[in-house]
Amino acid sequence: MSQSQLPAGIRTDRDDGPTTHTDAEDVQSVLDALDDADCRAILEATRDATLTVNEIAARCDLPQSTAYRKVDILADAGLLEESLRVRRSGKHVSEYDCGVDDVTLSVDESGVALTVDHADTEPSATFANSLSTRHVADD
């Protein structure tokens, strides 16, 4: 996820409603991510700020390789959202923000279900709209 080429300001998000996982593998991937202290620190750091992997590594005091690995784990679990930071130099960089407001685990007679309530995000309808809502970073 951390090296993808996205159109500027476009997120890799899903529908805005909650996502319910019932597949054991999907549930386990979310739980594993939440059980990891580094992943939790990244979610906390990106709660109020959209950060690049380098910024995440610095803010969370993680080696860059660890930050990339943890960001991939969180993005794959649907807990971290990716967008593209436009730079004047033309070299754009992925940035990430916390993609969840709440995670609920339910166990009943039908099995285990994990529901992820996604954070509210402003949809980017067009490229021009994306550029007006995303900042352009200096190199």
Pick among 2.40.10.220, 1.10.10.10, 1.20.1730.10, 3.40.50.10490: CATH of 19-137: 1.10.10.10
Q: Pairing relation of β-strands 100-108 and 80-87?
A: unpaired
Q: Where are the domains of the chain?
A: 19-137
pTM over 0.85: no
Average the pLDDT over each of 6-10, 43-47, 59-63, 91-95 and give the range with the smallest value: 6-10
Q: Please give the average per-residue pLDDT across 106-114, as a whole number.
A: 89
pLDDT digits (tens, 9 = 90+) for 4-42: 443 333 344 445 678 888 888 998 999 999 999 999 999
- 3-state helix vs strand vs coil in the chain, percent to 5: 35, 25, 40
pLDDT value at residue 45:
95
| Closest residue by Cα to residue 95 from 2, 15, 33 | 2
